[in-house]
Amino acid sequence: MDEILVWIVDDDQDYCELIREMLCDHYQVSVFYDASSYRQALEDMTPDLVLMDINLPDVSGIELCRELTESGKDCAVIFVSGMNTLEERLRAYDVSAVDFIAKPFELKELLAKVQAVATYQAKKRSLVQAESMSRNMAFQSMTESSQYGAVLQFFRQCFLCQDYQSLADAFFDLMQQLNLNTCLEIRDSEVHYFAPKNADISPIEANILELLDKHGRLYDFGSRTICNDKHVSFLIKNMPMDDEVLYGRLRDVIAVIVEGLEARVMDIGRQQTLQHVFMEIQALLGSISGAILEHDEKFSAALTGMTTEIRSSFHVLDMTEEQEDYFASLVERNLKEANSAGDAFYRLQGSLNTVKNVVESSVAS
């Protein structure tokens, strides 16, 4: 029981040395000859067991025991006194002493009682430590559950984000729940920087993000950590490096977060590309429709004019009726072919409309 700390408080120096020699092989023993030195030592540490005389030169041991009880310190007191009366024993009981040994006594008796109380104190300490460990584990489990719940909520929120700013806002809400101070960089054809509450990031933070975005998934420097993916980086400015458990758990969490951010950024980029394609096709369809309409009008006018002129010139050309019918059928046949060529343009327009509808559906989803 080397970890058990036993204090002896008695003004009899010979008695104290005797008890110290008897106990020092089994316990850590300290001796105090007066209440003043005992009180001073008690400010810095708490013993497991105190062997205390009732009649001290400067204050009663009963009073010292009452002070110890009222302080809430977990310490057992055994009174050792030559005043072996019922009144003294009741006084000792009133101040919560665990035992009373009357002088003179057998050393074996004292050793046995000290050993019994020390064993009890050791078991109680183990139970307290086990309870504390269980409580800490339960608290950590609840904390982890809360953190992962926040991450899942963030992923659900990501699906509703249609642009980088709304995605950044959802990200900063999550970081606030994790008590992390961050700034964010998103890269597509250009670089976008974001800070909480739509603030601007400092030039040095932008420079750090730019310099470290190729330094691996997680990179620690000082009390900061940068987390990278292909299109996303974010800087954590207050990483709890001094808390190994919390630090390890947060590293796992932010590694998952950056993957979710990366996936959503790529999805937003694809949607923006589809939106751009949709707008281009829509503009192209408008141009084709206008061109077809203009072409039809001009072509129809030209053919109508040509037909009218040919028919009106039959009498000038002095053609036979058979020749006139031949030329008329020739003109009508070519007009039909011209119309069929116009139909091909309309079919092309219909195909582009189908493509436009597919792209529009993809953008809307």
Give the mean pLDDT of the chain.
80
- For residue 143, name the pLDDT band (cuts at 50, 70, 90): low
pTM exceeds cut of 0.85: no
Beta carbons within 8 Å of 292's beta carbon, 6+ residues apart: 342, 345, 346, 349
Identify the pLDDT of residue 336: 65
Question: What digits encode the pLDDT tens for the residues 339-365?
Answer: 555 565 666 666 666 766 665 665 555
Instruction: Tell me the pLDDT tens digit for each residue of 222-253.
Output: 888 999 999 999 999 998 888 888 888 888 88
Instruction: Render pLDDT for 281-340 as a digit per residue (tens, 0 to 9).
Output: 777 767 767 766 776 677 677 667 766 766 666 566 666 677 667 776 776 676 666 655
